[in-house]
Chain A
Amino acid sequence: MVNRTTTDLGEIPMLLRGDPVQLRGWLADFRARRGLVCVAVIVAGAALYGAAMGCWRAPEQALYTAIKFPLVLLATTVGNALLNGVLAPLLGLQINFRQSTLAILMSQTIAVTILAAFSPLVFFTVWNLPPMATPEARAGAFAFLQVTQVLAIAFAGTTANVHLFRLLRSWGSSASVARNVLVAWLAGNLLLGTQLTWILRPFFGSPHLAVQFLRADALRGNFFESVAYSITYLFR
């Protein structure tokens, strides 16, 4: 059983270890304080990583991204809580709304803790890059930073979802049910998460555009439209 004497923040390493038995115990014994600690970890960790991501453009951009990145993660969790709670039993996994929400909150906490641990390295990478406005930056540094971010976020997301998958399986479901639920949750989160990211852009910032909290046309278009436009532009 989870040691009651450990502080709630001290339980984060246990989440990272990802043992399904411990995770189930942790969720079964969930208290409001634990939820608050998870939210605090997501806010602090994502803010740190967001600041590292935005600081290449300008200090103001670092501050804005530090505010917006945790907002995207928490808004995605809250916005999809109902959908995720409904999808799980429909796909054969008998867990309740509270359990599904907490499982996703837990996986977000794991991902953000990993990202927070990477943030000193991202700050170091940015410190080593030429300033964003220089031609060298436009040539390769921007692409390098983007690839680095994608790798870090992909690693954190994959690890968190592997832990989540193990937890779903430990709830007595077959591998296929656990996989279906996970894929359904990921699809829903991807849909909402990418759109929220689009609305709250910029995160990196662009040397050609002013540093802003939100673009003037924040609510115009969507992420998928933009990707489709880029693809058609490439093949035109």
Chain B
Amino acid sequence: MPESTPITPPPFPPNYNQSHEEPLTDAERAPIRGFSGTIEALLRRPRGLLNALAQEEGNGMLVILVLAASACALLYGLVVGAFSGGVQYYAAPLKIAGGLLVSAALCLPSLYVFGCLSGSTARIRDAVRMLAGTLALALILLFSFAPVAWVFSQSTNSVGVMGLFHVVFWLVAISFGGRFLLRGMRRAGARSEGAFYVWLVLFVLVSLQMATALRPIVGTAPMWLPKEKKFFMAHWAASFEEPTKPGETRPQQ
């Protein structure tokens, strides 16, 4: 067996694991107060919010972000439910808000690990706060699509087409939310972004599968939750095969 060799590791470089971000401006350093202040900071000065989230006051902001995300999801769900009406007026909002929060919880451990693999020094607490900011930003944006979604939901009978619109709106919204996450992880010292793009794809897949597991959300069904397990691609294909709302026909050309 080889002899033991004493090893003295070299000291860390002085800037080791420091953030690569530019220093905050005075405007970004301005204190963030209350519900509207937090939302305003999320939209207009995300670096300032990320800085505040990393401090002790971040707990209060976390609650605000989760509340904002939930409220926006519920309101957007109302518009989704308006397509079919009836029980969907309350089922769709609850399923969308609950499903997104559960999806986020399922993906949180992998977000934290991906963060560490990218060199970020974010703790699990920081990952939770960044994820809440990501969700809040995405859902505020999704909510701002609500009037557009409502107009389309009133002018089409196709469950598949309407579902596709919602998915496209969700993809646009989460891509903006992802920018907040990337910024936060860079601030926490992440050296590469590839892992976060992978994570975002993973999160989108989980959220789409969650929507399938909680179906119906756009259309209607005799039961609150499905008995049959389905992959979301298979469910979409089936939705396009069944082209209209129950009891309605295709519009004439």
User: Interface residues, chain A, CB within 8 Å of chain B?
Assistant: 1, 13, 16-19, 21-22, 24-25, 27-28, 85-86, 88-89, 94-99, 113-114, 116-121, 124, 127-130, 144, 159, 171
Given the known A-B contacts A117-B112, A128-B229, are A21 and B10 also in contact in the complex, defined by CB atoms under 8 Å? yes
Report the interface size class on chain B. 35 or more
Contact A121 B9 (CB under 8 A): no
Docked CA distance A108–B164 (Å): 42
User: Interface residues, chain B, CB within 8 Å of chain A?
Assistant: 1-5, 7-12, 16-17, 105-107, 109-110, 112-113, 116-117, 119-121, 123, 202, 206, 209-210, 212-213, 228-231
Point out the residues of chain A lying under 8 angstroms from B12, CB to CB: 1, 21-22
Given the known A-B contacts A96-B3, A117-B109, A124-B106, are A159 and B206 also in contact in the complex, defined by CB atoms under 8 Å? no
A27 to chain B: closest residue by CB: B7
Give the shortest distance, in Å, between A45 (CB) and chain B (any CB): 10
* Interface CB pairs A-B, < 8 A, 8: A1-B9, A1-B11, A18-B119, A19-B17, A27-B7, A117-B112, A120-B105, A128-B229
Docked CA distance A21–B13 (Å): 10
Sample of 8 more A-B contacts, CB < 8 Å, known A13-B121, A118-B109: A1-B12, A17-B17, A96-B1, A121-B106, A124-B209, A124-B210, A127-B213, A128-B209
Contact A24 B5 (CB under 8 A): no
Contact B231 A128 (CB under 8 A): yes
Contact B116 A95 (CB under 8 A): no
Contact A17 B117 (CB under 8 A): yes
A137 to chain B: closest residue by CB: B229
